[in-house]
Amino acid sequence: MNKSEPKMKTYVFKVVVEPVEMIIEELIEDGEPIPEAPEEEVQVFAEPRALVTVYADCL
């Protein structure tokens, strides 16, 4: 593990994981279902994962 990896993990947690967890908690509190479809846009996994989408017009 290099010196920047812990900082990157902390950053990713704050900008990706925390907001997603907050949204899921709000859905549960409001009695709303957690989206599982359309399948081409939403995938639900039991274990932690990360996905980065890069759009061609952003390159």
How far is Cα 27 from Cα 17, in angstroms, rounded to an integer? 15
Provide the pLDDT confidence category of residue 59 given band limits of 50, 70 and 90. Answer: very low
Task: Give the model's pLDDT for residue 13.
Answer: 76
Residue 34 in contact with residue 24, Cβ under 8 Å? Answer: yes
Q: Global pTM?
A: 0.50
Task: Give the model's pLDDT for residue 8.
Answer: 77
What's the pLDDT tens digit per position in 5-48?
778 778 877 887 788 888 889 889 999 888 777 777 777 777 87
Q: Kindly give, in sequence order, each residue whose CB lies less than 8 Å from that of residue 16, ignoring residues fewer than 6 positions away.
A: 50
How far is Cα 9 from Cα 3, in angstroms, rounded to an integer? 11
The residues spanned by each domain of the chain are 4-58
Between these two residues, 53 and 17, which has the higher pLDDT value? 17
